[in-house]
Chains A and B, each alone.
Chain A
Amino acid sequence: MAEQPVMVITGTRKGIGRSLAEHYCQHGYHVVGCSREPAAPGLNPYTHFCLDVVDEVAVARMFFEVQKRCGRLDVLVNNAGIASMNHCLLTPLATVRRIYETNVLGTFLFCREAAKLMQPRKWGRIVNFATVAAPLKLEGEAAYASSKAAVANLTEILARELAPLGITVNAVGPTPVKTDLIRSVPAAKMQTLLRRQAIQRFGEFADIANVVDFFLQPSSDFVTGQVIYLGGV
């Protein structure tokens, strides 16, 4: 069994996922990441799997390899997510399906498989990604926000189902962060959104890492089923 703690992070090719992988490699974790395409080099210790997070066979194979190579899993961070911002009358059903598959089904599948590996040691931490778009009920984000509302509810229920196995399940709900996810959103719309936050600025990677770090602390073992929204939402 690996001496280092092992963390699985989804969506590590770019953006927040990549930054999280760098952060936790530097903080003593062996990070196992995944995305549909290969990750850029520069992460160590790091293992990458190319897969779609809703491909059940590929995901089972990935966790099988984690068990085989590392013999343990300590943390899962379900970062992978996609968004599409448009009025519901202009949103193709295929887009809604794609968003729900990645954000909800992908999160469920990774939680299920991770819990199987965490269960023998009676210890594990799962951190999901919600969004402030859900509690703010943002117009133009029906598919994305509702999929993340499902993730928040999933987090609360899995927290109860997995508590007897020693696994905590929490979520961080970021404000907009300057990544590809919001690249296509008009600046004026972004400003309107930021004005609805108590603290009216874009989120930074460090804001998110701070919350994830808190959930991972050994002393947070009595904290589960919580969704922490950033920016005072």
Chain B
Amino acid sequence: MINRERIERIIHSALDEWQQLNPDGAKVAKVPGTVLFGEGSTLDSLGLVTLIAAVEREIAQEFDRPLTLVSEKAMSQRTSPFRTVATLTDYIASLLEEDSHG
């Protein structure tokens, strides 16, 4: 079973990294409902790119395996898995579960 808290911690850390790079940008709350993508997001497109790359890198380090978050399946879902901290956490957990079951 994948520990969701570990994933959330990584997303929060990536948000911190983005915040440090954009000290003048809007403050992003580290809560499950924070919108990362689409209407109401505090991240611009470059912010999302930076966040996704940072999350991939940290997940690889933490779980000792490469993980690519972008896929056709992810991009075509009605509710984007990148929409909020919570949906991104669920999505990463599902990818890691799939991966661990080969």
Contact = CB atoms under 8 A, between A and B. Distances in A.
A61 interface: yes
B70 to A, nearest CB: 9
Contacts of B32: none
Interface in A145-165: 164-165
B50 A119 contact: yes
Chain A contact residues: helix, strand, loop or mixed = helix
Interface residues of A, number: 14
B31 interface: no
A91 interface: no
Nearest to B67: A60
Interface in B80-102: none
B53 A61 contact: no
Contact of B68 (A56, A164, A165): A56
A164 B53 CA distance: 14
A23 B66 CA distance: 30
A120 B52 CA distance: 12
Interface string A55-75: 010001101100110000000
A164 B61 CA distance: 25
13 contacts: A56-B68, A60-B67, A64-B65, A64-B66, A67-B57, A67-B60, A67-B61, A68-B61, A116-B53, A119-B50, A120-B54, A164-B46, A165-B50
Given A115-B53, A116-B53, 17 more contacts: A56-B68, A60-B66, A60-B67, A60-B68, A61-B66, A63-B66, A64-B60, A64-B65, A64-B66, A67-B57, A68-B61, A119-B53, A119-B54, A120-B57, A164-B46, A165-B49, A165-B50
